[in-house]
Amino acid sequence: MDDPDEIIAASASMPKLPLAAAVVAVAGLVDSIYLTIHHLTAEPVPCSIISGCETVLTSPYAEVAGVPLAAFGAAAYFIAFSLALLAVYGNRTAWMLFGLLAVGMAGFTAWLLYLQAYVIKAFCQFCLLSAITSVILFLIAVASRFRLRGR
């Protein structure tokens, strides 16, 4: 595929929404791994934009059965990345599963935002970054449904 016309045709046929989802999922994965490492090493997270990171990250809601919540987030983002990447190459089942995962992640994100705002009464900038990436993944999944209906 050294012919420029073939390269242009291949890039034009590549699904842009799954590709965007894969990129966003990687951002969420990096954020979640960062938080997991800090949790496991008990190293404080530098909170430079807002205060409250340590309050959130040391709350009883920061882990489930001794496993950092961020580790579950990392697993979810890795699965989202994998499904989106499979969808880039035409796997429709993977894209459907990505959509279901994105809905679940957005729902769980809403719960975590509620906890930060009303129960813990503090916010973590890295948790908010994860919330933004989860919502973007959800919006990409929703956009793909509207795009499919338009065809």
User: What is the C-alpha to C-alpha distance for residues 43 and 58, in angstroms, rounded to an integer?
Assistant: 11
The CATH number of whichever domain residue 112 belongs to comes to 1.20.1440.130
**Global confidence as pTM:** 0.86
Domains in the chain, number: 1
Per-residue pLDDT tens digits for 54-111: 889 889 999 999 999 999 999 999 999 999 999 999 899 999 999 999 999 999 999 9
Residue 5 in domain: no
Q: For residue 28, what are the domain limits?
A: 15-149
**pLDDT score for 10:** 41
Phi, psi angles (nearest 5°) of residue 142: -65, -45
Residue 6 in domain: no
DSSP state letters, 24-52: HHHHHHHHHHHHHHHHHHTPPPP--SSS-
